[in-house]
């Protein structure tokens, strides 16, 4: 039996800047870190949290839309996460804007580990018309 999708269809006009999502928790394992380091070809890469895209995870759990393209991303390093620690993420809608007729949503998230160490902050600007990539850059 197919799962029911209870997510809300995004209404960009109605989306409120400041909307804060339910906190998201996950365990960062050594395996996650090792796989991330292989993927980015850097054995010393410290912020495996980047691949978890935690700033948009709760947005995607709540809303459904036509998809998105990452247009801009800012990352602030505070303390490298430690394998085996649970991380708690608080994410919210930081901004939205219309540019050249295209809709963007800005999400922001802060991660803290189970000991209260501040890990990182990420701010992402997502273009909500992903097919623009194919139109502009083609195959």
What residues line the site for another protein (CB under 8 A)? 32-33, 35-36, 38-42, 44-48, 50-53, 66-67, 69-80, 130-131, 133-135, 137-139
Q: Which is nearer to another protein, 32 or 93 (CB)?
A: 32
Nearest residue (CB) to another protein, 12 versus 75: 75
| Cβ-based nearer residue to another protein, 21 or 36 | 36
φ and ψ at residue 18, rounded to 5 degrees: 105, -15
CB of 45 to another protein, least distance (A): 6
| Nearer residue to another protein within complex by CB, 21 or 104 | 104
- For residue 22, what are its two tokens? 């339910």
Min separation Cβ 116 and another protein, Å? 16
**Which uninterrupted H or E stretch holds 87?**
strand 86-99
| Burial of residue 57 (number of CB atoms within 10 Å: 0-12, 13-18, 19+) | middle
If you ran DSSP here, which 8-state letter would residue 20 be given? B
Q: How far is the CB of 47 from another protein (least distance, A)?
A: 7
Smaller CB separation from another protein, 67 or 84: 67
Minimum CB separation of residue 57 from another protein in Å reads 9
DSSP of 24-74: EEEE--HHHHHHHHHHTT-TT---GGGGGTHHHHHHHHHEE-S--EEEEEE
Handedness of CA 32, 76, 65, 99 (dihedral sign): negative
């Amino acid at each position: 039996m197919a799962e029911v999708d209870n997510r809300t269809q995004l209404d960009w006009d109605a989306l409120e800047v400041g909307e804060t999502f339910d906190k998201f928790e996950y365990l960062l394992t050594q395996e996650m870190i090792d796989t991330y380091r292989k993927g980015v070809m850097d054995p010393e890469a410290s912020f495996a949290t980047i691949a978890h895209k935690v700033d948009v995870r709760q947005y995607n759990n709540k809303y459904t839309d036509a998809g998105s393209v990452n247009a801009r991303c800012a990352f602030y390093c505070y303390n490298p996460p430690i394998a085996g620690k649970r991380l708690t993420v608080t994410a919210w809608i930081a901004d939205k804007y219309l540019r050249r007729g295209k809709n963007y949503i800005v999400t922001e998230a802060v991660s803290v580990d189970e000991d209260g160490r501040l890990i990182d902050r990420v701010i992402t600007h997502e273009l909500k018309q992903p097919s623009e990539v194919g139109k502009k850059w083609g195959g």
